[in-house]
Amino acid sequence: MINNPDDYDELSSASTSKHKAKKIKPPKKMSETRLANIALHYLERYSSSAENLRRVLERRAMKSARAHPETDMDTVKEWIDVLIKRYIEVGLLNDATYAEIKTRSGLERGDAPQIIAMKLAQKGVAKEISDGALEGLVDDFPMPELQAALNMIRKKRIGPYRTDSKIRAEKRENDLAKLARAGFSYDTAKRMIDADDVEDLISMIEENKN
């Protein structure tokens, strides 16, 4: 317990001095080995496209270079090129597989196909690979947009998932707007929100699988 205000000032001053003494360590200078370690650690935690991994490594290299101005970024970028090429050759990076995984997880999450395509483009996946992954959904989901929309309204508990008919009617326009903002067409949004019940939607989608 502090009884004297002077004691508090002394303790506060000591605490501030201790805080100032703690310095943030600058990033280590980038080397080819360190770059490979960063890449492998990232791939252990996340799936990635080739271009996305390139961007991650370049950002880390630039951060290191600010602390080490003598760094030759042209050389570092050559290391990254070699690393990306090697990982593609051994199968650690595969944009087609990455796109397929992200496309299916996006659909399950309730992302509209055009939103999935946009997210893949942001990760540097080529359009032809993205289109191929989306087309591949049709094998299991003949109506991918409707399936994604169904997954979304299930997740958001809107439209036919609302148990109170009065609230459902009051929220209809808001629910339609939610689907529109999520990238779904008006026709798809209307079919989802105005469905008599969930079973009708599921039956319609299931029938198209046969």
Amino acid at residue number 11:
L
> What is the residue-wise DSSP string for 111-173?
--HHHHHHHHHHTT--HHHHHHHHHHGGGT-SSHHHHHHHHHHHHHT-GGG-S-HHHHHHTHH
Over its length of 210 residues, how does the chain's per-residue pLDDT go in tens digits? 445 544 444 445 555 555 555 677 888 899 999 999 999 999 999 999 999 999 999 999 999 999 999 999 999 999 999 999 999 999 999 999 999 999 999 999 999 999 999 999 999 999 999 999 999 998 888 899 999 999 999 999 999 999 999 999 999 999 999 999 999 999 999 999 999 888 888 887 877 665
CB atoms within 10 A of CB 81: 11
* 41 closest CA partner among 53, 52, 30, 31: 53
**Interatomic CA distance for residues 125 and 99, integer angstroms:** 7
**Which residues lie below 8 Å from residue 35, measured CB to CB, with a gap of 6+?**
57, 60, 61, 76, 79, 80, 83
The residue ranges of every structural domain in the chain are 32-90, 96-210
- The Cβ-side half-sphere exposure at 84, using a 13 Å CA radius, reads 18
Predicted TM-score (pTM) of this structure: 0.80
C-alpha 178: how far from chain center: 20
**Interatomic CA distance for residues 110 and 179, integer angstroms:** 10
**Interatomic CA distance for residues 56 and 21, integer angstroms:** 32
> What pLDDT does residue 208 have?
65
